[in-house]
Amino acid sequence: MKIVHLIVGLGNPGKKYRNTRHNTGNMVIELWSRNLGVSLTGRRFQSRNALTVLHGKHILLLCPDTFMNLGGKSVRACADHYRLDTEEILVIHDDLDLPVGRIKVTRSGSAGGHKGVLSVVKHLGSIQFPRIKIGIGRPRHEESTSDYVLSPFYVDEKQIMKNVIRMAVEACELFILEGLEPAMNLINCQNLTN
């Protein structure tokens, strides 16, 4: 069986981090797996994962069980096992430079200071992999950036983020079923704060 795509949601393991901004990638994979009726019970590749089929296309949903700055090890092990090219790997992660309510699908790019993406770049030896960036905005108060990303969303953002996570799942499905360009065209113009 040929895996068509590896879909990775970046985050940190454990209940302590479950609902934090830095776990937005995990949240997308967890919602999508529930929608598809599969459980992330696989334990290979230092991850929680599930192999499933979407309209005849085999995909692997994966949440690394390493901490964020080591997530690339899990991605690389899985990519090597299934002999995946970098363009067959979609990485979902939080982005400080996008406001809450925005999602951006991209073809490639630098890590932009994101330690999880940096780890994936380092272990794949390439920046040429598609991403879904989910806006988490910047701190409103006096929090440090590290405290901010490891904290839950503000109360007034929580409903927006539920809608964002749902739309990110749609973006994943569009990417698999129709390709990167249609996903970019449909998703990148959306603003879910409106």
Residues assigned a catalytic role: 22
SS3 letters for 110-167? CCCCCHHHHHHHHHHCCCCCCEEEEECCCCCCCCCHHHHHCCECCHHHHHHHHHHHHH
Distance from C-alpha of 40 to C-alpha of 104, rounded to nearest angstrom: 25
**Tokens found for residue 31:** 């919602």
Q: Which amino acid is at 137?
A: G
Cβ pair 72, 18 in contact under 8 A: no
Amino acid at 148: Y
Cα Rg, the chain, nearest whole Å: 15
- Burial, 3: exposed, middle or buried (Cβ in 10 Å; 0-12, 13-18, 19+)? middle
Best CA proximity match to 8, nearest among 96, 151, 121, 136: 121
